[in-house]
Structure 1
Amino acid sequence: MFSFSLWFWALLALLFFWAIGAYNRLVRLRSAVVKAFAVLDEQLVRQLVWVQGCLPEAMRGGAVTAPGELQDEVTAAWARLHAASEQFAVALAQARAQPIDVPGMASLVMAHEALRTAWASALADAVPPDAVPSAERLQSRWMRLLHQSLPLRTAFNDAAQAYNQAIAQFPAAVVARLFGFRPAGTVTRLAEGR
């Protein structure tokens, strides 16, 4: 009887200490995801600030035209870029508040794609050929900003995948489910060069 009780308590203690270790590992992995996003966030903020700085002076403070007012092609291209940059700023703020949130990361990726599309449209439709700086120089700087974020995006995605694998593996999945660890989103297409 004494032997069974000793084995029971030893097994219970082993299980308890294993659960504490598994929990601490999941917390470390989640923290690594948050830290990796903080570094990526800095680079994305640089992209956003740079794009907003390229907007015409009149657009930097807010809306350029009243609703329903006709716009020429150039103003419309800048207005699309302004709207896309505002949308990206909102998505970035949401992702910053919850860097583990899957829908938040998906929203960030979609907003970045909209910003890239609006940027290409603004360069094509609104920057005259004799502009200083030229469209090629603006595009070159934009591509440099995108490429600078590639290793940061990879580091974030790697951290998120390691965390997601850890919360999915049995028996750590039991601890993850018990303490509410949710899968992290990734930024798969964000900042790929085009």
Structure 2
Amino acid sequence: MMSFVILVALLIVFWAVGAYQRLLRQRKQCRTAFSQVDALALHRHELMPALVRVCRERMPQQVDALDALLAADKAILAAYAHAGRHALDAAAIAPLNEAEAALETALGAVFALVPHSDSASSEDLSRLIEELGAAESRMAFARQVYNEAARHYNAARAQFPGSVVAAVFAFTPVAALPDAGMRQPDRL
């Protein structure tokens, strides 16, 4: 009888360790996937000043739209940094989603002006928009990878035995990133 109790206790310990290791591994996958999105956001951020510079040369009357774009870009960079520092906490991801929406709106406003200006024929502007589009495509894929990792992690957290281990060791849920995409100008 005593050996049966010891055997059951060992099984429970091994089961808990296995569930703990699985949650750790999946949370690490979420962080790795998020770091890829963050790196691509930094690359997109590096392209924004050049885009604004070219647009200011070609559309000097659109200062407000360009300033709004720079402000949205700065806000999203801060939101990514904050989300990365706070271990993908759902509360840290919410401002990131809002910042992505604001950046998409600001880019949309600038891109709406491009076909109506003499900058539409600018080779530099065309190249920058193409680079931004490529960066956004890579970010969209990286977001999908992150969201899939987050979905698997959250599912493991919710299922027994992971739910017990998650409650004991404070494995918090992670939030999904938006599937936002950069709007392209109507024509160049």
TM-score range, shorter chain: 0.7 to 0.9
**Structure 1 residues 191 and 120, CA gap change in structure 2 (3 angstroms):** closer
Normalising by structure 1, we get a TM-score of 0.81
Structure 1 gaps of 5+ residues are 60-71
- 1:152 paired with 2:149, answer no
- 1:34 paired with 2:35, answer no
Higher helix content, 1 or 2: 2
Aligned pairs for 1:42-57 within 5 A = 42-56=39-53
Task: Pick which of 27-36 and 184-193 moved more.
Answer: 184-193
Q: How many residues align?
A: 178
- 1:96 paired with 2:84, answer yes
Q: Mark the structure with the bigger radius of gyration.
A: 1
C-alpha displacement at 1:109, in angstroms? 1.8
1:75 aligns with 63
Of 142, 145, 166, which aligns to 2:156?
166
- 1:22 paired with 2:19, answer yes
Query: Which whole-Å deviations, capped at 9, do the CAs of 1:154-175 have from their partners, x for residues lacking one?
Result: 1111100000000000122001
Structure 2 gaps of 5+ residues are none
Supply the distance in 2 between the matched residues of 1:41 and 1:107 (Cα, whole angstroms).
14
Asked if structure 2 preserves the Cα contact closer than 8 Å seen for 1:109 and 1:189, the reply is no
Supply the distance in 1 between the matched residues of 2:24 and 2:109 (Cα, whole angstroms).
43
Query: Which whole-Å deviations, capped at 9, do the CAs of 1:17-75 have from their partners, x for residues lacking one?
Result: 11111101110000010011111111111111111332239x9xxxxxxxxxxxx9511
- 1:108 paired with 2:106, answer no
**Structure 1 residues 160 and 98, CA gap change in structure 2 (3 angstroms):** same
C-alpha displacement at 1:98, in angstroms? 2.4
Identical aligned residues as a percent: 28
RMSD, matched Cα: 2.4
Asked if structure 1 preserves the Cα contact closer than 8 Å seen for 2:16 and 2:161, the reply is no
**Structure 1 residues 192 and 86, CA gap change in structure 2 (3 angstroms):** closer
Supply the distance in 2 between the matched residues of 1:126 and 1:81 (Cα, whole angstroms).
14
